Structure 1
Amino acid sequence: MRLVYLTPLLLIALMALPAGAAPFYTVEVSAETRSDEDRGLALKAALARQLQRMTGTADPAEAEALADLMLAPEQLLAGYAWRGEAGEDLRLQARFDPEALQAALADYTGEVWLGEGARVIVWAGEEVDGSRNLMAEGSGDTLAERVRAEAAAVGLTPLLPLLDLEDRRNLEYSHIWAGFTDRIAEASQRYGAQPVVTLALRERSGGDWEGRWLLLDGRSTGQDRGQADSREELVQQAMQWAVTTLAQARGVVLAGEAQASLDIRVAIDSLSAYAAVLEYLQGLPEVREARLAGTRGDALALELDLAVSPERALSALEGSRSLEPQAEGETGEEAPPRFRWRR
């Protein structure tokens, strides 16, 4: 039998799905039968869960700005499929259209998470009877399977590490349990600029479990802990916390006036890159509009109208794969942040 090893770059390439791809815009809910009535109820339940994911609203049907959307979930669908049989865990899988949802939420005045950063690197491990283990990509371990299932249930796409010699040299279970952010960030660099979630579980003497989890997203860090009767409950808690924390960190306001503005400089190698830079910036959820204000040497002088605070927008730009932060090329206290276009 021939063994095929996936390199980190190949794994990252496999993760490079369109922004609206499953699972962030895909929701599965239970249904009694495949009748039109039960399908309608299931679609409403699926849309409610999708809107919870995007807005953080506990009950979208009771929210004034969202209630109307619940009346016709079919208008926001990209498609649906049935899973299972009636009486045997029948489920409806609904795939929602990202562009239709964004247009429908254009007048919503709260923050909306569009799924940017829903692909996460997950370092997960457990300690049982003094034995400590980390989970690897491709592992059939029950903890790895539970992490994948619970992450998908809240709209996240998890990428577990290879756990080859390099990974094992850089990170151990004890580092995750202790929350050593520098070690975690360094070990995660080889897997790309994705948010990082760590999950460390430990079985207690009484048979119950305790856990600690952490999220690294650019320059922001969040962490929490919990206790439960089973590790499955803790994984569910951790993934729900992760998606809520990401939504709070990455949500943008789609309605109303721009939240703020930001001037930046982007150095380019040729004028042909000008259109690509503008198109890229316009596509960022943090940016409402990008305008050319002029040129400064080899750099474009750009004005950005923002959907978030300047601090959050700057953090997103600094974490971009397409923009490389550079030393300021202009003097003065108000010198704009400077980047180089890397595409």
Structure 2
Amino acid sequence: MKHTVLIAWVAALMAIAFPLAANTVITSHVAVESYGVDNERKVLEEALLEAVVTLTGDETVRENKEIASLKKRLDEFLLEYRYEKSGQAWALVAKFDQDTLSEAVDNEGLATQQINEEDVILWLVYQYPKRSPIIVNTGSPEKLRGTLMKNLRSKGLQPLLPIMDLDDQQKVDPADVLSGKDDGLVSASQRYGVPHYITGVLQFDAGLWKIQLRSDRISSNVSTQSRNLNGSFASALAILQSREKEIDQSEAASAERILIQVSYVGSYSAYRRLKEYFNNSKSVNYWRVSSDQGDTITIELELSTSARRWLKALRKQNILEHVAPPVDLPSDEILYFFTLNP
């Protein structure tokens, strides 16, 4: 009994001194008929499959024989699940451990998407003649997808298309994109782990392909039209990138002061790693710890460039993980929240 208590006490102390990072979560929604369906295991397997599609960016992965092996290991990846009701419709919402699932997917030979600072997800509404508008997705016709992807890659981008499952549909509606409302795009894009998104409208009218594009950085529309889809999309992308380049040049010359919060700094060695990073970073002119609460510290930074460019450079280093703000936001002045990688 004493040994059990001692082990629990030591474990508790270790948890305080060396807090564990929270699971990186990937969420799937699957439509169901009602709460507590009889074939719950099968529905959870479908949710797992949606998560694998999100990780790989490949809708055809559903047909791979390796999927059967992953389904057998469902309990290893599943963190929690619940039922949600929206109007008269029910959905099972499942959360999976993204790191564990990614490793398993890679081990099965199903490559996960490698995300970098040039990755972008395209939320493009296609207005079919006399049909309801749709968002181009991984299940759209190959000719349409191929043209869009080829142009994005030619501009040095690594493009992704949404899978438009129930989760995407709840966050992004074609009508919102058409009206310029981007409220759900940020959270929807974060699901795919990409830092940027492009959104717009594509339509074929009177023999012309007409396209409007904007991005998370360019709020005004770029509009082009051509008798050729490839030409119209390529022209719009070129104009969009030209405008973004102008912003980059402007940001490069603008210094910025910001407050950030970093968690999991629970030991001197952790603090020393953080100190070495800030002292050696060319993007940081000055830094100081403005407050310290347990293993979480708030830092004032004076950057030699814009915060956006600093964040872009930060992604290439394995020091800080950019995370979402906590529910109980400590201060409106704190712009970014991070965890210190082990």
Please state which band the TM-score falls in when normalised by the shorter chain.
0.5 to 0.7
CA distance in 2, matches of 1:198, 1:321: 26
Partner residue, 1:224: 222
Give the Cα–Cα distance (whole angstroms) in 2 for the partners of residues 239 and 208 of structure 1.
17
Q: Which residue of 2 aligns with 1:149?
A: 150
Between the aligned partners of 1:226 and 1:213, the Cα distance in structure 2 is 9
Which consecutive residues of structure 1, in runs of 5 or more, have no partner in the other structure?
20-115
CA distance, structure 1, for counterparts of residue 280 and residue 176 of structure 2: 36
Q: Which amino acid aligns with 2:222?
A: D
Q: Quick one: distance in 1 between partners of 2:197 and 2:158? A: 11
Residue 165 (1) aligns with residue 211 (2): no
SS of the aligned residue for 2:305 comes to coil
Question: What SS class does the counterpart of residue 149 from structure 1 fall into?
Answer: helix
Tell me, in whole angstroms, the C-alpha distance in 2 between the residues paired with 1:184 and 1:284. Answer: 32
Q: Is contact 2:290-2:300 (8 Å) kept? A: no
Provide the C-alpha distance between the structure 2 equivalents of 1:169 and 1:247, rounded to a whole number of angstroms: 33
- Inter-partner Cα distance in structure 1 for 2:234 and 2:137: 19
1:181 counterpart residue number: 182
Query: Cα distance 1:284–1:322, how it changes in 2: closer, same or farther (>3 A)?
Result: farther
Considering only aligned residues, what root-mean-square deviation do their CA atoms show, in Å? 4.2
Instruction: Measure, in 2, the Cα distance between the counterparts of 1:203 and 1:328.
Output: 46
What's the CA shift string for 1:234-273, capped at 9, x where partnerless?
Answer: 2112322343344344558779xx8344454434341243
SS state at 1:182 partner: coil
Q: Check the 8 A contact 1:147/1:235 in 2, yes or no.
A: yes
**Structure 1 residue 16 and structure 2 residue 117: aligned?**
no
What is the Cα deviation at residue 139 of structure 1?
4.8
Name the counterpart of 1:259: 255
Distance 2:151 2:182 in 1: 23
Distance verdict in 2 for CA 1:300–1:250, change over 3 Å: farther
What is the aligned partner in structure 2 of residue 270 from structure 1?
266
CA distance in structure 1 between the aligned counterparts of 2:185 and 2:298, rounded to whole angstroms: 36
The correspondence of residues 33-52 of structure 1 with structure 2, limited to 5 A, is none
Give the distance between the partners of 1:184 and 1:328, measured in 2 at CA: 22
Query: For 1:285-335, what per-residue CA distance to the aligned partner results, in whole angstroms no more than 9, with x for missing partners?
Result: 9x345645576343445453423246x579879x995244466758xx9x7
Distance in 1 separating the partners of 2:284 and 2:160: 30
- Is 1:296 the counterpart of 2:292? The answer is yes
Give the match's secondary structure for 2:225.
strand
How many residue pairs get aligned? The number is 232
What is the aligned partner in structure 2 of residue 28 from structure 1? none
* 1:211-247 deviation digits (Å, cap 9, x = unpaired): 2212125xx7343222222222221123223433443
Taking structure 2 as the reference length, the TM-score comes to: 0.53
Note if contact 2:285-2:304 (Cα within 8 Å) is conserved in structure 1.
no
Partner of 2:198: 197
Structure 2 residue 303 is the aligned partner of structure 1 residue 306: yes
Aligned position for 2:208: 208
TM-score (norm 1): 0.53
3-state SS of 1:15 partner: coil
Unaligned stretches of 5+ in structure 2?
1-45, 58-97, 103-111
Please state how far the C-alpha of 1:147 moved relative to its aligned partner.
1.1
Residue type at the aligned position of 2:113:
M
Alpha carbons 2:322, 2:337 under 8 Å: kept: no
Match of 2:53 in 1: 7
Could you tell me which amino acid in structure 2 is paired with residue 215 of structure 1?
A: S
Task: Specify which of 233, 238, 241 is matched with residue 239 of structure 2.
Answer: 241
Aligned counterparts of 2:329 and 2:309: Cα–Cα separation in 1: 17
Structure 1 residues 291 and 149, CA, compared in 2 at 3 Å: closer, same or farther?
A: same
Inter-CA distance 150–182: structure 2 relative to 1 (3 Å threshold): same
Match of 1:69 in 2: none
Is the CA contact 2:222–2:240 (under 8 Å) kept in the aligned structure 1?
A: no
Structure 2 distance, partners of 1:281, 1:122, is: 34
Amino acid at match of 1:307: S
> 2:248 and 2:274 mapped to 1: Cα distance?
21
Structure 2 letter corresponding to 1:268: Y
Which secondary structure does the structure 1 equivalent of 2:159 belong to? Answer: strand
**Aligned-residue identity in percent:** 20
Whole-angstrom distance in 2 between the partners of 1:283 and 1:243: 31
Q: Secondary structure at the match of 1:145?
A: helix
1:128 Cα offset (Å): 3.3
- Could you list the per-position Cα deviations for residues 19-70 of structure 1 after superposition, in whole angstroms to 9, with x for gaps in the alignment? 5xxxxxxxxxxxxxxxxxxxxxxxxxxxxxxxxxxxxxxxxxxxxxxxxxxx
Counterpart Cα distance in 1 of 2:290 and 2:190: 35
The answer to whether the 8 A contact 2:123-2:161 is kept is yes
